[in-house]
A and B are shown apart, each in its own frame.
Chain A
Amino acid sequence: MIRIAPEPWAAMVAHARASYPNECCGAMLGSAGDGARNVQQAIALPNAFAGAQAARYELRPEDLLAADKAARDLQMDLLGIYHSHPDCDAYFSATDLANSCPWYSFVVLSIQNGEFHHANSFLPNFDQTEAPKEELIY
């Protein structure tokens, strides 16, 4: 289960709306315990995909490294990654799966006509062959 506190959740939705019609991406920081990941801070990261960003995103490893350092400085943990799907459902696409990592939760926000519509969180496996949903509370 992943639980996102109101402040980071508002920041994630605002980032996704501001990036529309492009995809946005970012990191979620917080603490983990008792089978739950509790997100207390969201960090917007640049979408580094070189082509059209309406249907693609890419995180630079150095940006993720900086997010991990920020988490350590804040005595938090890097718990997951979020990105948006403009005018599309919050599913885990084949592209998402092929470029995923099993260490983190992946929250997908559906933004339709510029407004938040719904969200889901996924836990991809090692072989990047499936990503079951996990409970998402926000």
Chain B
Amino acid sequence: MAKILIPTPLRQFTAKQDSVVVPGSTVGEVLAALTAEYPELRRQIFNPEGKLRSFVNVYLNDEDIRYIGKDAAPAADSDTLSLVPSIAGGTRH
């Protein structure tokens, strides 16, 4: 079980809730439960192959899950997951 903070533009898919609590003992299980409960979020977060979209980072509390075990990182009741986009750019192609 963990809390997931929902970015503003995605709240239209979570009945306007800015955070939701879903079951799961790992980050992967929590994300699977999230998209099972709110299916329209799946396209926002995952690509058609089921991988996280290139612009989506997942943070467990203040840590990027890529550095703490990715989907297998344990998620406790007291943990908070955040969906944080990767953003960059510039005029040089």
Contacts and interface: CB of A to CB of B under 8 A. Distances in A.
A99 B92 contact: no
Contacts of B8: 32, 71, 77-79, 103
Contacts of A88: 91
Interface string B66-91: 00000000000000001011111111
Contacts of B57: 61
Contacts of A106: 89
A65 B59 contact: yes
A83 interface: yes
A57 B89 contact: yes
Interface of A: 23, 25, 32, 49, 55-59, 61-62, 64-65, 68, 71-72, 77-79, 81, 83, 85-86, 88, 93-101, 103-104, 106, 126, 128
Closest 9 CB pairs of A and B: A96-B89, A56-B90, A101-B85, A55-B92, A77-B8, A99-B88, A58-B88, A103-B9, A61-B84
